[in-house]
Amino acid sequence: MDTPPAPTEADAARYLSDAEAQLLQLFTETSKADWVYNTYITDDSEFLSAKANARFLTESANLAKRTTRWDVKRLAPADARKALLLRLGQPLAAPDDPKAADELTTLAAELQAAYAKARHAPKGHTESLDLEALSKILRESRNPAELQDVWVGWHATARPMKAGYTRFVELANHGARDAGFGDLGEMWRSKYDLSPNDFAKTVEGLWQQVAPLYKELHAYVRRKLRETYGDEAVSKDGPVPAHLFGNMWAQSWEHIYPLVAPPSSDPGIDLTSILVARKTDPVGMVKFGERFFVSLGLEPLPATFWTRSQFERPRDRDVVCHASAWDVDADEDLRIKMCIDITGEEFHVVHHELGHNYYQRAYRRQPFLFRDGAHDGFHEAVGDTISLSVTPEYLQTIGLVDSVPGPEKDIGLLLHRALEKVAFLPFGLVIDKWRWDVFSGAVRPDDYTGSWTRLRRDYQGIVPPVPRSEDDFDPGAKFHIPGNTPYMRYFLAAILQFQFHRGLAKALGWSGPLHRCSIYGQAEAGRRLRAMLEMGASRPWPDALEAVTGERVMDGGALRDYFRPLEEWLKKENRSAPVGW
């Protein structure tokens, strides 16, 4: 598939069409190999997955590099966009050197396998526990010594990854430079219809919009944790130890709601207890999510979804339980991979993952290079937008509850949701800010953990429970680092889901509080969502945003609008308490 340095418009269109056909075949082969590896971890499946990914990365890199000399101004707009997306389609670009490319993909598979196999034996336990079991302890225990042991033990499992990750960064940057980018971070930031520098400024601006609400929440939670664990464990005006938030990375705080709930308030509905009492099984959890999308006018999931997905952890083998949605053939072979627990939290996760599947299905008629979200934050935001409609009124409509709490319970409802959504915001920013500096060389291996700790302190107001050294590799204790999954998408989704929700509420003529609005069963909401989903990546993201919201700029103000009653309440609660750290 040799092409001239300056192809005609027809030459470029033909080249891109051939490239898409080749990429579709490679994509399907790689997806199937990855699925087998993720659901049946063995040395053999790891080897086959690495080889398939090497083929895909190498060929996609070769196809992309032949477009770097094109004058895209001479091309049709759609083909110019395809050429750009071809260069940006994967989170890795294979180096030109075949040996380096093979080493890169082998390292990627090894790092993922190391994470999936990680275990820690807490004090008092006779066997090592996986992340799921350790997370359960963090959610339920109120013994600070036990919490610290679990936190330290899990983070210790990342230490052996450091050398491999250091080499991985070298090779990944090599591939990015061969593809025409300064480093892998610059390549990632080029995916957003903005220059890499402008995108970084946009992200920081969004954070500045929402930071005041986060700091009020942090101050309130810090005061409540002091009441539980004492002044020696939690300072009055400083950062808070990371092991006290009910989550391994302190990225979500909803599990400590009982410790911080206002005396006269509660989250209203214990969805976990309701689901368990109804004897809901994992398939039943997914059926609830499917029915929501169908209520908007979208089609039921294909029959193969139900026979090919992984809903539960198998008893006979290691699997990657991290929840994910799969589009195996870029058409109708949709799946989710989860180890579903029957909890209210997992109820929301199911809706989130199905958001990916319905997005994938909607744009399947687009050319292959456009079968993606408007940007990756859009892909993550769709399912979370649906989750915002899992209101008490919605739960009553589908028969899970008989009555809904009155407005006097709203602060409890909003606080519980803020412990998930607002608490996440700085963590969603930190992971890729750290990696951007790692990829650029601003952070060297001898400062991996130190720089990570400083970022988390500065943005989250959170610190490790014990001193850390560069023998540790704390970033590697989060899946997305060894898994090389860009994380800025989650921060953007945390902003966009509220903007989508506000836009859809306005389209429906909703006049009540945003947190009480559900789009369940609303055809107009489904029409607007479908218009965005079907675009895929064929248009710049402001066009997709406008289809849902009528707006063309990402806006953190929608999140502040949603939580406004809570923010006003928090300010009153914090009148005599320090805010910030």
Which residue do the tokens 């008893």 mark? 315
At 409 the pLDDT is: 81
Catalytic annotation present for 416: no
C-alpha span between 305 and 310 (Å, rounded): 9
Q: Which of 358, 321, 357 is nearest to 338 (CA)?
A: 321
Task: Please list, in sequence order, all residues whose beta carbon lies within 8 angstroms of the beta carbon of residue 521, skipping any fewer than 6 positions away.
Answer: 295, 296, 397
Catalytic annotation present for 332: no
Q: Which of 348, 359, 452, 443 is nearest to 390 (CA)?
A: 348
**271 C-beta neighbours (distance < 10 Å), count:** 21
Q: Which of 378, 297, 364 is nearest to 327 (CA)?
A: 364
C-alpha span between 413 and 268 (Å, rounded): 6
Catalytic residue among 103, 393, 480, 573: 480
- pLDDT in tens for each of the 581 residues of the chain? 454 456 889 999 999 999 999 999 999 999 999 999 999 999 999 999 999 988 998 898 889 888 877 888 889 999 999 999 998 988 988 898 999 999 999 999 999 999 999 999 999 999 999 998 999 999 999 999 999 999 999 999 999 999 999 999 999 999 999 888 999 999 999 999 999 999 999 999 999 999 999 999 999 999 999 999 999 999 999 999 999 999 999 999 999 999 999 887 665 678 899 999 999 999 999 999 999 999 999 999 999 999 999 999 998 888 888 899 999 999 999 999 999 999 988 998 999 999 999 999 999 999 999 999 999 999 999 989 999 999 989 999 999 999 888 887 889 889 999 999 999 999 999 999 999 999 999 999 999 999 999 999 999 999 999 999 999 999 999 999 999 999 999 999 999 999 999 999 999 999 999 999 999 999 999 999 999 999 999 999 999 999 999 999 999 999 999 999 999 999 999 999 999 99
C-alpha span between 167 and 302 (Å, rounded): 42
Which residue do the tokens 């051939």 mark? 18
Task: State the virtual CA torsion across 311, 315, 319, 323 in degrees, nearest 10.
Answer: 30
Find residue 336's DSSP bridge partners. Answer: 325
C-alpha span between 536 and 307 (Å, rounded): 26
Is the pTM higher than 0.85? The answer reads yes
Catalytic residue among 254, 353, 420, 567: 353
Q: What is the largest CA-CA distance in the chain?
A: 72
C-alpha span between 367 and 532 (Å, rounded): 16
At 406 the pLDDT is: 81
Q: Which of 453, 427, 422, 470 is nearest to 241 (CA)?
A: 453
Please tell me the number of Cα atoms within 13 Å of 260 on its side-chain side: 29
Extents of the domains making up the chain: 9-112+165-180
